[in-house]
Structure 1
Amino acid sequence: MVETTPAELDAARAVFGDRLNLAQRYVEHLATSGMERGLLGPREVPRLWSRHVLNCAVVAELIPANATVADVGSGAGLPGLCLAIARPDLSMTLIEPLERRVIWLNEVVADLGLDNVKVLRGRAEQVVDEVNVDVATARAVSALGGLAGLTVPLLHGKGQVLAIKGRSAEEEVQKAAKAIRKLGGRETAVLTVGADVLEEPTTVVRISVG
């Protein structure tokens, strides 16, 4: 079992509530088969809760009730599976091009019994006609300019992109401003979420469309 600090456990309880056991099982998947299959490195295991799962899950507070959400380049399910566990009201599509990751995601979804998740194999630009959502999420996919081109079209003219970013978020926003406007982005903001539960809050770039 992946060890948690008392602070991490408190944060996990606050974020996942009565679905904490599902989050714990997901973390076990990440630490075992996820690592074995190269979805994340062994050095990440001790910080799975703080750096990865909680960092992603707090983004749920920015998503409206009963929203449809697409997670682009879902990889190990960060943030897609974290959000699906924290928010059973969301209808989540995980978009991932690599077959081995798709197989793993489907195994985890089945094991956790997540009935609000479907996994779609493909690149975001290939599935635009199949996917029409209120919110598109991404983490560690690409710089914001390129990422906007992958995520904004999935909104089909109305909704928001929530991109989990690091300290360079403001700089990325400035560089991508022209590309975002061209795609129909109405407003771009850098937000921090999870300050009440995390030692290091999560930085999110929100692009509003329509």
Structure 2
Amino acid sequence: MEDVSRETWVYGAVPVAVSSTYPEAVPGLIVLHQLLSTDAVTWGLIGPREVPRLWDRHILNCAVVSELLGPDPHGGGSLADVGSGAGLPGLVIALVRPELRVTLIEPLARRATFLSEAVSTLGLADRVEVIRARAEDLRGVTYRYVTARAVAPLDRLCGWALPLVSDGGQFLAIKGRQAAQEVEAIQASGKPIASMHIVHCGEGVVSPLTTVVVVDVTGSRTILRSDSARTRPNRGDRRD
């Protein structure tokens, strides 16, 4: 990965919504923006057409999810990003919420390698870990928050992600226009999740607002497992 300096971008190139909402994170977000617009494109993780809209459609779209992460009375917290890909939202949240310990879960070798190098370049190695694995293969570990963005339909995501959420924690799935339909489909499936609701965040920061399906996990949890989740290919063995 090429050497990327935190001084490469002038602050004038950063949208006002970024510099005013996340002033302390601006240096890191500038570096991440450059990584996404260069190396991530070269590695095939970001489409070239997305580069002009990285700030609004991707970085800010993810950053505003931090509104949903409450303060931890114990002085920190843990978050896992399932199918992290190019680090959206995992790396963004790690930059805007420096008190969190973040785990980026990604089964594909190429993406996991990019994430590891990005973590090093961003200087986050002390609190951000990359695990090359499928979420459903992880055992004996839970997190206060689990996130996912553009990974799979909601029913599959719940099957993979909810076992990773600790009691009292939340699963936050960043979704688009079909969020309501996906929630309705789950509630009508015979395996409803009572604590599932939709939240729109980023008022005054990003447009359109970021749509997040929130699942609160308390006490006896409901784990939704679909047939498609059980027959999912073992992507963790791929080398690309």
| TM-score when normalising by structure 2 | 0.80
Moved more, 192-201 or 137-146: 192-201
User: One-letter code of the match for 1:50?
Assistant: D
Q: Which runs of 5+ in 1 are unaligned?
A: none
User: One-letter code of the match for 1:142?
Assistant: A
Distance 1:208 1:40, change over 3 A: same
Residue from 21, 25, 28 that aligns with 1:19: 25
After superposition, the CA RMSD in angstroms is 2.1
1:139 deviates by 0.2
Alignment of 1:108-127 (within 5 A): 108-114=118-124, 115-127=126-138
C-alpha separation in 1, matches of 2:86 and 2:190: 27
1:3 deviates by 9.8
Q: Which whole-Å deviations, capped at 9, do the CAs of 1:70-117 have from their partners, x for residues lacking one?
A: 100000000000000000011110000001111111111101101321
Residue from 75, 82, 99 that aligns with 1:72: 82
1:199 deviates by 2.3
Residue from 172, 189, 204 that aligns with 2:197: 189
**Correspondence for 1:59:** 65
C-alpha separation in 1, matches of 2:205 and 2:52: 19
Contact 1:69-1:136 at 8 Å conserved across structures: yes
Distance 1:16 1:179, change over 3 A: farther
1:128 aligns with 2:139: yes
1:149 deviates by 0.4
1:96 aligns with 2:106: yes
1:4 deviates by 9.4
1:177 deviates by 2.3
C-alpha separation in 2, matches of 1:18 and 1:193: 20
1:171 aligns with 2:171: no
C-alpha separation in 2, matches of 1:40 and 1:56: 15
1:67 deviates by 2.2
**Correspondence for 1:40:** 46
1:163 deviates by 0.4
C-alpha separation in 2, matches of 1:111 and 1:84: 13
Q: Which whole-Å deviations, capped at 9, do the CAs of 1:4-44 have from their partners, x for residues lacking one?
A: 998x6111113322120100100100111100000011001
Residue from 201, 213, 217 that aligns with 1:205: 213
C-alpha separation in 2, matches of 1:51 and 1:96: 21
Q: Which runs of 5+ in 2 are unaligned?
A: 1-7, 219-240
Identity over the aligned pairs, expressed in percent? 44
Distance 1:143 1:84, change over 3 A: same
C-alpha separation in 2, matches of 1:191 and 1:26: 26
1:156 deviates by 4.2
Contact 1:3-1:46 at 8 Å conserved across structures: no
1:152 deviates by 0.4
Contact 1:188-1:208 at 8 Å conserved across structures: yes
Higher fraction of helix: 1
User: One-letter code of the match for 2:103?
Assistant: T
Greater gyration radius: 2
**Correspondence for 1:154:** 164
C-alpha separation in 2, matches of 1:74 and 1:103: 12
